[in-house]
Amino acid sequence: FIDLARAYCSSKITGTSGQSVIGTHTSHSFGHSQSPRQERRLREVKDNPPYDKGAFRIEINFPAEYPFKPPKITFKTKIYHPNIDEKGQVCLPVISAENWKPATKTDQVIQSLIALVNDPQPEHPLRADLAEEYSKDRKKFCKNAEEFTKKYGEKRPVD
């Protein structure tokens, strides 16, 4: 989940790698001896409207060629955001094919995702209508995003 009020995320990790993933209380490395599907919670404390009324499930898929190819992030919970489309695909520069570097750590990707969600980049939209609304009428965008989050967001995890 990504609870953007506190930027609390629990992501479904698919695939295997030697990449370190920050868990709820400890760091954990995935190796080939482990199950390819793992659940992990990541936590950053913040209160950021308009997404503080719900949590968002994300999936991070590590391809077989990882770390030489970037992971793919998909929002499984609908979100009202100019950089995330209706299918949950994310426009995140750090994981684009052009910008990806094998040394990039999973926590850097997640921090970039949290930063993008909290600070949309309307100049690189996947949803032009929301980018225009965000640019021209921020108050309306925030109201619509908050209502959308209340309607479609998942219940926020409790500590």
Catalytic entry in 91, 92, 109, 131: 91
Position 28 pLDDT exceeds 90: no
Residue 159 lies in a domain: no
Is residue 95 domain-resident?
yes
Residue 136 lies in a domain: yes
Residue 138 in any domain: the answer is: yes
Note the pLDDT of residue 44. Answer: 47
pLDDT, position 32: 31
Residue 110 located in a structural domain:
yes
Task: Decide if pLDDT at 76 tops 50.
Answer: yes
* pLDDT of 27 over the 80 cut: no
Characterise 91 by phi-psi region: left (phi > 0), alpha (psi -120 to 50), beta (else): beta
- Please report, for the domain that includes residue 18, its CATH number: 3.10.110.10
What was the pLDDT predicted at 122?
96
Q: Please confirm, yes or no, whether 9 is among the known catalytic residues.
A: no
Per-residue CA distances from 68 to 35, 50, 79, 109, 120 (Å):
21, 35, 29, 14, 27
Q: What is the pLDDT of residues 4-22, one digit of tens each?
A: 443 333 334 444 333 323 2
Tell whether the model's pLDDT for residue 30 goes beyond 80.
no
66, part of any domain = yes
Domain assignment present for residue 92? The answer is yes
What's the token pair of residue 131?
Answer: 């980018």
Q: How would you classify the pairing of strands 8-14 and 27-29?
A: unpaired
Any alpha helices (H) in 61-137, and if so which ranges?
A: 106-118, 128-136
In this structure, is residue 157 part of a structural domain? no
Exposure on the CB side of residue 154, measured as CA atoms within 13 A: 16
- pLDDT at position 46, please? 57
Mean pLDDT of 48-74: 93
Structural domain count of the chain: 1
- Looking at the chain, the whole-number percentage of residues with pLDDT higher than 70 is 70
> What would the two tokens of residue 108 be?
């850097």
Question: Do 19 and 29 form a contact (C-beta atoms < 8 A)?
Answer: yes
Task: Supply the range of the domain harboring residue 139.
Answer: 2-152
Query: Mean pLDDT throughout 87-106?
Result: 96
Of 128, 73, 131, nearest in space to 100 by CA: 73
Nearest to 111 by CA among 9, 1, 25, 17: 9
pLDDT tens-digit profile of 77-86?
999 999 999 9
